[in-house]
A and B are shown apart, each in its own frame.
Chain A
Amino acid sequence: MFTWFHRFGSAPFVYRAAGAVAPWLAGGCAIALLAGLWLGLVVAPADYEQGDSYRIIYVHVPAAWMSMFVYTVMALSSAVFLIWRLKLADVVASASAPIGAAFTLIALVTGSLWGKPTWGTWWVWDGRLTSELLLLFLYLGYMTLRGAFEQPRTAEKAAAMLAVIGIVNIPVIHFSVEWWNTLHQPATITKIDKPSMHISMLRPLLLMVLAFQLLYFANLAVRVRTGLLRREARSSWVAELAAKAAGGTGYATSGGTASGITASVRNGDGSPVSEQGAPRATDHG
């Protein structure tokens, strides 16, 4: 059990595994996204009450759902980091924050764009909207805290604590439509016994939820790799990767080409040169 944990929780293994799964997640995301957009924007009929404005649901609901899902991942991995001091958990949490914030921002903006034609207002301080806005501030607070301390270890701990405390907001967002019965409508999909959506409208919604989910995991894989490299810059496995990259095996193959790494130019001695003119490896040691 512990050897398993050690092996699969080890930084080089996760770095490699994340590089291997990222392209598959991204590919699946692209397929689900195209299918969802086609079925949602073209095939699905207009709503008898809201006309075509209801189609905003295909970005609004997946984004809102992901904003809560990503926060839950962030809070749970922060708790693991605080309790068991597992560095990988902190890397996952910090890699999740920006994409979670992005989903929250999208949920708020598309909700506003939907609210105007449906409710006649861009914004109202109802329970759902206010708690979702608070969620955005929690994400932003988390990211600000991480940069606010000179000691990175202090920053990690403080941010993780904020993430854990902020989890109380998640049930508040979820139940807000029942607690404060104001403008925002209650859940549509989770009523399995009697779905209030026709299948032609529901199918694209589920595809878009899947697409957003895959997008998160693909992005998480890329960002976790970045976080691991930063955190473990001085470790031997990174040195090995660097040595391999400088050798004949090729720069891109050592880490996987998936994450948007294009071909790299080489110097005479084989050290990689950034296309954007990044600081190159020093030749005079």
Chain B
Amino acid sequence: MGELAEFFRMGGYALYVWPAFGISALVLGGIVIWSARELKQVRIETYGKARTARRRRT
């Protein structure tokens, strides 16, 4: 068996090891992307509102 195949086999525990790392990556990656998008969205909305308010004042 190739070295890489041996690595992915994880000594017979592939079914437990890889899902553990996969789910962790998915959850953490998800929260990082969600947070970045949320900031971008909120920034666009708040800036828009702030500008409108300023224009009304002047």
Chain A positions within 8 Å of B, measured between CB atoms, are 41-42, 46, 51-53, 55-56, 59-60, 63, 98-99, 102, 105-106, 109-110, 113-114, 116-117, 215, 218-219, 222-223, 225-226, 229-230, 233-234, 238-239, 241-243, 245-246, 255, 259-261, 271-272, 274, 276, 278-282, 285
A38 to chain B, nearest CB (A): 12
Q: How many chain B residues have a CB neighbour from A under 8 Å?
A: 40
**5 closest residue pairs by CB, A with B:** A260-B36, A285-B55, A52-B11, A242-B50, A281-B48
B46 to chain A, nearest CB (A): 5
B49: nearest residue on chain A (CB-CB)? A233
CB contact between A56 and one of B16, B46, B52 (< 8 Å): that residue: B16
A158 to chain B, nearest CB (A): 23
> Is there an interface contact between A98 and B47, defined as CB atoms closer than 8 Å?
no
CB contact between A55 and one of B10, B51, B52 (< 8 Å): that residue: B10
**Which B residues are in CB contact (< 8 Å) with A260?**
33, 36-37, 39-40
| A-B contact sample (8 more), CB < 8 A, given A52-B17, A242-B46 | A51-B12, A98-B31, A215-B28, A229-B39, A259-B39, A271-B51, A278-B44, A285-B52
**Which A residues are in CB contact (< 8 Å) with B28?**
102, 106, 215
B13 to chain A, nearest CB (A): 4
**Which B residues are in CB contact (< 8 Å) with A42?**
7
> Is there an interface contact between A222 and B39, defined as CB atoms closer than 8 Å?
yes
B47: nearest residue on chain A (CB-CB)? A242
> Is there an interface contact between B16 and A271, defined as CB atoms closer than 8 Å?
no
What is the bound-complex CA distance between A105 and B28, given in angstroms?
10
> Is there an interface contact between B37 and A106, defined as CB atoms closer than 8 Å?
no
> Is there an interface contact between A274 and B41, defined as CB atoms closer than 8 Å?
yes
What is the bound-complex CA distance between A113 and B14, given in angstroms?
11
> Is there an interface contact between A53 and B31, defined as CB atoms closer than 8 Å?
no
Chain A CB within 8 A of B5 CB: no
Q: Check A243/B51 contact, CB under 8 A, given A102-B27, A233-B46.
A: yes
B8 to chain A, nearest CB (A): 10
> Is there an interface contact between B32 and A105, defined as CB atoms closer than 8 Å?
no
Q: Check A271/B42 contact, CB under 8 A, given A106-B23, A114-B20, A219-B32.
A: no
> Is there an interface contact between A230 and B39, defined as CB atoms closer than 8 Å?
no
B4 to chain A, nearest CB (A): 11
B37 to chain A, nearest CB (A): 7
A58: nearest residue on chain B (CB-CB)? B21
B32: nearest residue on chain A (CB-CB)? A219
- 30 CB contacts below 8 A, A to B, read A51-B11, A52-B13, A53-B17, A59-B21, A60-B20, A117-B16, A215-B28, A218-B32, A219-B32, A223-B38, A226-B38, A229-B39, A229-B46, A233-B46, A233-B49, A234-B53, A238-B46, A238-B47, A239-B53, A241-B47, A242-B48, A243-B50, A245-B47, A246-B51, A259-B36, A259-B39, A271-B51, A276-B41, A278-B45, A280-B44
